[in-house]
Structure 1
Amino acid sequence: MTTSSRIEWTEQTWNPTIGCTKLSAGCKHCYAETLAKRLQAMGLDAYRQGFRLKLLPERLDEPRQRKKPTIYFVNSMSDLFHERIPDDFLDSVMAVIRDTPQHRYQILTKRHERLRSYFAKRPVPGNVWLGVSVENRRHGVPRIDALRHIPAKIRFLSCEPLLEDLGELDLSGIHWVIVGGESGAKARPMHPDWARAIRTQCEDQGATFFFKQWGGWGADGKRRSKKANGRELDGRQWNGMPETVASVVV
């Protein structure tokens, strides 16, 4: 089902699959897993098996029912490029995307190798924004190069939860970078200088910067609610969005 999103950089979520398995450091306190267990306890049928991976073909046509141009985040409750999702199901998702050119679709994955191999044999729909998670140097940074070589109109990074200083980044071919801290009871803190370093590199290399949230820890290093910490970095909000038409760099 599609639902309005509380995610600051999108409008609606569309989950043709739900559930996932942990892959890297950013998965440790997965918000989707926590929410899935809550929905399971509430008795929602789709979450009867909790966070176990499940294909939901009955949801495929939902974007076709919406005529108003909408930005969709695809699979907020899963990873579309999970190794156990068949290529033919991915083909069905892409067919819906191609059939609804009035919408834009944001697809974020930690499985960069599957992402690259899938689109090595298929064109990327023109209304798809492709992104990879970049939470740390070990797991996240290698994903950037895989993304850079895929000819999507918009390529983006989600550095959330940002777990450490990412060091020097090559942002060539990257149009948009989202940065945020971790939320939840077990959130790991994000140092302000880590976010500032990414912002500076975006400015120097021509990528658009978006600061999503501090999460469970504020800029002052104190633990408090996400809402109390706010979304300001150095006294202002950074709400940059990429241009809808961007040059393709491969």
Structure 2
Amino acid sequence: MGQNSKIEWTTHTFNPWWGCTKVSEACKHCYAESWAKRVGQKVWGPSVDRRTFGDEHWKQPLRWNKLASGGDTRPRVFCASMADVFEDREELSPWRARLWELIDDTPHLDWLLLTKRPQNVGRLAGWGGDWPANVWLGTTVELQARADELLPHLSQIPAKVRFISAEPLLGPLEINDWLKSSIDWVITGGESGPKARPASPAWFRDLHMQCMQNEVAFHFKQWGDWAPGDGLNLLAARAKHKKIVADGTTMVRVGKKVAGRALDGTEWDQLPVARAN
């Protein structure tokens, strides 16, 4: 995981370490935990060590920054796909400090820090009330209860872009007030993997409508393993696995690649505009 990420909404990924502890419903079928186990890394849970990396690993973003210095576009770096930068463990403090220095040393990259722990950000981030222009901060809100709990914390951080990842989306979200006041970008999508839970198409459509009404950038990442049967009638007829979801749609399990990432015929790849203050 690094240069030229396969994640649709970023350019690169960078992990200052590997490992985390599950804290929400979205964590139930964590892809990062599964990947770590697949490559023999036992780094998940509160009582195990995190995997850290050497100097060569930390030089990658410096190379990306150098390549970007003469370009017209700003690469986006997702940090971290295999960890949570704001997991509050004392042994991670020096690695966090090193990350803040790296971010300061790479002004041609936009760093996307996505956390499930925004309540820790003010205490653990390295910039106080003066955040660098190249840092975007996001949090995961897969259910209304998570939005109600976490968005008040996110809204207080003076990042140039504040965003949410509603992926995997596990229920309807009503976040109009936050879109009006403090959220610049919404990423959403369904769950993939062997135990993926199907989402209701109405949840995505309603979230998209809220973004349009408030002129907030919207990115639909994927349907995941399940797709609406009405758009895949031939496959639906043959599918072994079907489920009727909350909005009455028959969802069929066809796999992430077949399901695709078009919502009502369009791939939504909008990007936010950094706030002026």
TM-score scaled by length of structure 1: 0.89
Following the alignment from structure 1 to structure 2, what is the Cα–Cα distance between the partners of residues 35 and 189? 21
Following the alignment from structure 2 to structure 1, what is the Cα–Cα distance between the partners of residues 212 and 100? 33
Match of 1:27 in 2: 27
Match of 2:51 in 1: 54
Following the alignment from structure 2 to structure 1, what is the Cα–Cα distance between the partners of residues 32 and 4? 16
Following the alignment from structure 1 to structure 2, what is the Cα–Cα distance between the partners of residues 185 and 147? 32
Match of 1:4 in 2: 4
The amino acid of 1:68's aligned partner reads L
Match of 2:173 in 1: 166
Please identify the structure whose Cα radius of gyration is greater: 2
Quote the offset at 1:50 in angstroms. 4.6
Following the alignment from structure 2 to structure 1, what is the Cα–Cα distance between the partners of residues 144 and 53? 34
What is the correspondence of 1:30-41 to structure 2 with a 5 Å cutoff? 30-40=30-40
1:105 maps onto 2:111 in alignment: yes
What is the correspondence of 1:59-74 to structure 2 with a 5 Å cutoff? 59-66=57-64, 67-69=66-68, 70-74=75-79
The amino acid of 1:159's aligned partner reads A
Following the alignment from structure 1 to structure 2, what is the Cα–Cα distance between the partners of residues 101 and 91? 17
Secondary structure of the residue aligned to 1:62 is: helix
1:82 maps onto 2:87 in alignment: yes
Equivalent in 134, 139, 157 of residue 127 of structure 1: 134
Residues 156-177 of structure 1, C-alpha deviation per residue, up to 9 Å, x if partnerless? Answer: 1100000001134421211100
RMSD: 1.8
1:176 maps onto 2:180 in alignment: no
Is contact 1:136–1:162 with CA below 8 Å preserved after alignment? yes
Secondary structure of the residue aligned to 1:222 is: strand
The amino acid of 2:120's aligned partner reads R
Secondary structure of the residue aligned to 2:228 is: coil
Match of 1:247 in 2: 276
Quote the offset at 1:104 in angstroms. 1.1
Secondary structure of the residue aligned to 1:61 is: helix
Match of 1:207 in 2: 216
Equivalent in 101, 105, 117 of residue 123 of structure 2: 117
Is contact 2:18–2:43 with CA below 8 Å preserved after alignment? no
**Greater CA drift, 168-177 or 210-219:** 168-177
Following the alignment from structure 2 to structure 1, what is the Cα–Cα distance between the partners of residues 117 and 52? 17
Match of 1:187 in 2: 196
The total of aligned residue pairs comes to: 240
Is contact 1:178–1:212 with CA below 8 Å preserved after alignment? yes
Match of 2:240 in 1: none
Is contact 1:116–1:147 with CA below 8 Å preserved after alignment? no
Which structure has more helix as a fraction of its residues?
2
How much identity, in percent, do the aligned residues show? Answer: 41
Gapped regions of structure 2 (runs ≥ 5): 69-74, 230-250
Gapped regions of structure 1 (runs ≥ 5): 41-46
Residues 121-144 of structure 1, C-alpha deviation per residue, up to 9 Å, x if partnerless? Answer: 363221011100011122344211
Match of 2:164 in 1: 157
TM-score scaled by length of structure 2: 0.81
The amino acid of 1:239's aligned partner reads D
Match of 1:44 in 2: none
Following the alignment from structure 2 to structure 1, what is the Cα–Cα distance between the partners of residues 5 and 12? 5
Match of 1:13 in 2: 13
Secondary structure of the residue aligned to 2:145 is: coil
Quote the offset at 1:57 in angstroms. 5.2
Following the alignment from structure 1 to structure 2, what is the Cα–Cα distance between the partners of residues 158 and 55? 25
Residues 202-250 of structure 1, C-alpha deviation per residue, up to 9 Å, x if partnerless? Answer: 111221111100001102311110011011111111110112x3233xx
The amino acid of 1:106's aligned partner reads L
The amino acid of 1:216's aligned partner reads D
**Greater CA drift, 189-198 or 88-97:** 88-97
**Greater CA drift, 94-103 or 58-67:** 58-67
